């Protein structure tokens, strides 16, 4: 029988509070990866693209050092060249040389599909410059509208022959979603420039080098208990030279080592480890960094060949000792005292207190080959020996079954690993068919992190049907919250017209944000977590596959929270028996996400499916009508 056959049915749900069990308080978190311009051009608030002239054809076949820039030569003559001698820092090897022949010339930046600015807000400009030869002067910066009207202007002091950091603040007189930035200079001589950066002062929590406030806020609104970062495929990278090395991503931004992004663009690493940890702290989420297991992404090289082929490589064994130390140093950087070598670098960045790292993931979707196992064990054993307090997370490949899954789990069993990361992107039906997947997992074996999952519907659309499949699955994660300790939907962010992957949870342009049905399902779970699971039995007149339910208690508030998911095409009345829970207050808060099964919050109709809240009369036993295609969250106050 399918959900379409269901017209009139009734359901009975009984909560068995006497069989309560503790579950992970960290169950629902998020996974952030710089895919789909999630970081540069997205969450990372810098408005200048290619700020340090490091773009090359390795990032993207069509790119070069001057991508996103153009010359302004109406009032002067000049040529440009790429400079590499005596850069600001060895990690930032390239800069731009402007050879000015005469008059006033400019460098115009278009940002990421335009620079979105707001009238009256303040934007901090920083750049590095030095005069290489001749007489150069007249340095000034402007924000101009998309039609060329000057909206803000400031003059800068002309530097000498050494790299000098120049700063100013610009306040545009008008709002423009497609503004441009221009740096002007005049005279006759050579000027070197680098790290041209423009930040709104109104970043999330007003952090310098901070995050785009509106995006950071909608992510915070998910109330994630943790953030997994920086990837995904990006973490282990496109070949060994492209592995994400955390040490390259801390310190002053002009000293960081930006590099190609496996997703066919560039990663400035301005959003680096310090910013990730700080954001976690700002929103009350635990950091879950992913370090490569000394191996690169098995899909390495794909962006050039277009072919998915196994291309796993491992660091040479004589480099592994140093690499293992790099991982140990990360723990010292995060948790060590400010007097320790790496703790001092955290303190220097403005955070003397330890960050309190609890989890560390080693590897992502790696092929579980001898090459991987040898390197993984070196890292795992060294970290365990020195930091038994850190919960280490292994990997079981890209799919929820198959060779890497089997081998990954076998390795987990052999090594008595703390936890392993499972991934799976499957059609909605798969999630309904697998609601009992984790119920049969060995309670005494390694714990599970469901690190990446999403229901992929037809056309990879963010349908309500996909969100409900995920919600049903999340009820099963709560039921298995004694062994599934963490979970995260993937990917998190997708920039309109700049995506390499769909579906995503949150879509955005430079000025707007669109929240998918999947976002609201995740948010309802994130905002209604519990630390105790109260088992439920759900009987839908022999058609259990059309509905799913879970019940948790939040010890902090004493609230009991029911989650009910129905994919039936008609309303489904359910008799809810809470007698075992104790005295229940007469009213509960009820939030419902419902609509047509194929409804989406798409670009044209971004608010088709929104959660609606109401008050519900409840008692020890009461009847609730689950709307067709719905997720309902009923939050009850108990009086015992």
The closest residue (CB) to ligand AHR is: 232
* Using rule CB under 6 A, residue 627 touches ligand AHR: no
Residue ranges in 248-277 that form contacts with ligand AHR under rule CB under 6 A: none
Start-end of H helices in 552-632: none
* Using rule CB under 6 A, residue 470 touches ligand AHR: no
How many CA atoms lie within 13 Å of 37's alpha carbon, on the beta-carbon side? 19
Residue ranges in 392-431 that form contacts with ligand AHR under rule CB under 6 A: 398
Pair of tokens at residue 231: 């990837």
Minimum distance of ligand AHR from residue 114's CB (angstroms) = 26
Q: How many whole angstroms separate alpha carbon 255 and alpha carbon 249? A: 9
Q: Measuring CA to CA, how many Å separate 425 from each of 147, 278, 376, 483, 501?
A: 44, 30, 25, 21, 12
For ligand AHR, give the closer residue by CB, 469 or 568: 469
For ligand AHR, give the closer residue by CB, 270 or 398: 398
Residue ranges in 325-364 that form contacts with ligand AHR under rule CB under 6 A: 364
Minimum distance of ligand AHR from residue 51's CB (angstroms) = 25
* Using rule CB under 6 A, residue 233 touches ligand AHR: yes
* Using rule CB under 6 A, residue 42 touches ligand AHR: no
How many CA atoms lie within 13 Å of 618's alpha carbon, on the beta-carbon side? 28
Stretch that binds ligand AHR, among 60-68, 226-234, 477-485, 528-536 (CB under 6 A): 226-234
Q: How many whole angstroms separate alpha carbon 157 and alpha carbon 137? A: 8
Q: Are strands 572-577 and 11-15 parallel, antiparallel or unpaired?
A: parallel
H/E stretch holding 403: helix 403-415
Minimum distance of ligand AHR from residue 235's CB (angstroms) = 8
* Using rule CB under 6 A, residue 48 touches ligand AHR: no
Q: How many whole angstroms separate alpha carbon 623 and alpha carbon 13? A: 10
Pair of tokens at residue 121: 């807000």
Q: How many whole angstroms separate alpha carbon 186 and alpha carbon 136? A: 6
Q: How many whole angstroms separate alpha carbon 162 and alpha carbon 130? A: 5
Best CA proximity match to 276, nearest among 257, 295, 250: 250
Residue ranges in 576-615 that form contacts with ligand AHR under rule CB under 6 A: none
Contact 496, 506 (CB under 8 A): no
* Interface map 494-523 toward ligand AHR (x if CB under 6 A): -------x----------------------
Stretch that binds ligand AHR, among 229-237, 300-308, 324-332, 555-563 (CB under 6 A): 229-237
Stretch that binds ligand AHR, among 215-223, 230-238, 309-317, 533-541 (CB under 6 A): 230-238
* Using rule CB under 6 A, residue 622 touches ligand AHR: no
* Using rule CB under 6 A, residue 298 touches ligand AHR: no
Q: How many whole angstroms separate alpha carbon 254 and alpha carbon 505? A: 32
Residue 33 appears among annotated catalytic residues: no
* Using rule CB under 6 A, residue 490 touches ligand AHR: yes
* Using rule CB under 6 A, residue 291 touches ligand AHR: no
* Using rule CB under 6 A, residue 46 touches ligand AHR: no
Q: 144, 254, 365, 478: which one is catalytic?
A: 365
Contact 98, 60 (CB under 8 A): no
Q: How many whole angstroms separate alpha carbon 225 and alpha carbon 280? A: 9
For ligand AHR, give the closer residue by CB, 26 or 365: 365
Pair of tokens at residue 93: 């090897």
Among 35, 68, 143, 435, binds ligand AHR (CB under 6 A): 35
* Using rule CB under 6 A, residue 491 touches ligand AHR: yes
Phi/psi region, residue 261 (left: phi>0; alpha: psi -120 to 50; beta: rest), is beta
Active-site positions read 365
Contact set with ligand AHR (CB under 6 A): 33, 35, 231-233, 364-365, 398, 452, 490-491, 501
């Amino acid at each position: 029988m399918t959900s379409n056959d269901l017209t009139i049915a009734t359901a009975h749900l009984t909560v068995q509070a006497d069989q309560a069990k503790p579950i992970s308080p960290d169950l629902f978190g998020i996974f952030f990866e710089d895919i789909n311009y999630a970081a540069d051009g997205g969450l990372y608030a810098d408005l200048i693209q290619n700020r340090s002239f490091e773009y090359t054809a390795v990032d993207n076949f069509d790119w070069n050092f001057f991508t996103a820039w153009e010359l302004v030569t109406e009032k002067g003559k000049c040529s440009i060249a790429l400079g590499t001698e005596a850069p600001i820092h060895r990690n930032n090897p390239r800069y731009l040389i402007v050879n000015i022949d005469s008059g006033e010339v400019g460098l115009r930046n278009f940002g990421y599909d335009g620079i979105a600015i707001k009238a009256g807000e303040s934007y901090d400009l920083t750049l590095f410059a030095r005069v290489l030869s001749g007489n150069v002067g007249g340095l000034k910066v402007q924000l101009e509208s998309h039609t060329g009207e000057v909206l803000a202007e400031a003059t800068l002091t002309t530097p000498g022959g050494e790299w000098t950091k120049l700063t100013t603040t610009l306040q545009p007189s008008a709002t423009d979603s497609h503004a441009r930035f221009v740096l002007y200079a005049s005279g006759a001589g050579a000027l070197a420039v680098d790290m041209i950066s423009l930040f709104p002062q109104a970043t999330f929590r007003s952090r310098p080098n901070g995050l785009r406030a509106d995006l950071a806020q909608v992510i915070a609104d998910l109330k994630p208990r943790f953030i997994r970062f920086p990837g995904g495929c990006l973490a282990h990278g496109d070949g060994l030279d492209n592995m994400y090395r955390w040490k390259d991503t801390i310190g002053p931004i002009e000293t960081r080592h930006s590099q190609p992004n496996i997703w066919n663009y560039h990663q400035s690493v301005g959003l680096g480890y310090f910013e990730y940890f700080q954001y976690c702290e700002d929103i009350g989420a635990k950091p879950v960094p992913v370090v490569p297991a000394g191996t690169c992404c098995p899909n390495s090289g794909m962006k050039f060949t277009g072919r998915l082929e196994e291309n796993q490589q491992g660091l040479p064994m004589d480099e592994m000792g140093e690499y293992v130390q790099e991982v140990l140093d990360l723990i010292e950087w995060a948790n060590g005292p400010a007097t320790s070598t790496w703790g001092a670098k955290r303190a220097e960045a403005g955070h003397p207190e330890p960050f309190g790292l609890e989890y560390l993931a080693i590897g992502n979707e790696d092929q579980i080959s001898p090459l991987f196992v040898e390197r993984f064990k070196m890292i795992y054993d060294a970290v365990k020996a020195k930091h038994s307090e850190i919960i280490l997370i292994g990997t079981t490949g890209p799919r929820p079954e198959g060779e890497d899954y089997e081998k990954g789990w076998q390795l987990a069993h052999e090594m008595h690993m703390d936890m392993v990361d499972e991934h799976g992107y499957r059609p909605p039906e798969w999630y309904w068919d697998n609601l009992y997947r984790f119920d049969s997992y060995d309670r005494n074996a390694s714990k599970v992190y469901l690190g990446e999952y999403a229901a992929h519907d037809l056309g990879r659309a963010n349908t309500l049907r996909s969100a409900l499949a995920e919600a049903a699955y999340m009820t099963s994660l709560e039921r298995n919250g004694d062994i599934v300790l963490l979970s995260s939907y993937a990917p998190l962010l997708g920039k309109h017209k700049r995506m390499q992957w769909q579906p995503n949870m949150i879509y955005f342009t430079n000025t707007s944000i669109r929240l998918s049905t999947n976002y609201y399902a995740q948010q309802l779970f994130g905002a209604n977590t519990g630390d105790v699971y109260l088992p439920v039995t759900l009987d839908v007149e022999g058609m259990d596959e059309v509905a799913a339910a879970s019940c948790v208690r939040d010890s902090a508030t004493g609230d009991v929270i029911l989650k009910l998911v129905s994919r039936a095409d008609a309303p489904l009345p359910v008799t809810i028996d809470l007698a075992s829970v104790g005295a229940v207050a007469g009213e509960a808060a009820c939030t419902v996400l419902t609509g047509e099964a194929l409804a989406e919050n798409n670009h044209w109709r971004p608010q088709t499916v929104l959660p609606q809240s109401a008050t519900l009369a409840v008692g020890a036993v009461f009847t609730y009508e689950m709307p067709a295609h719905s997720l309902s969250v009923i939050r009850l106050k108990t009086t015992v």
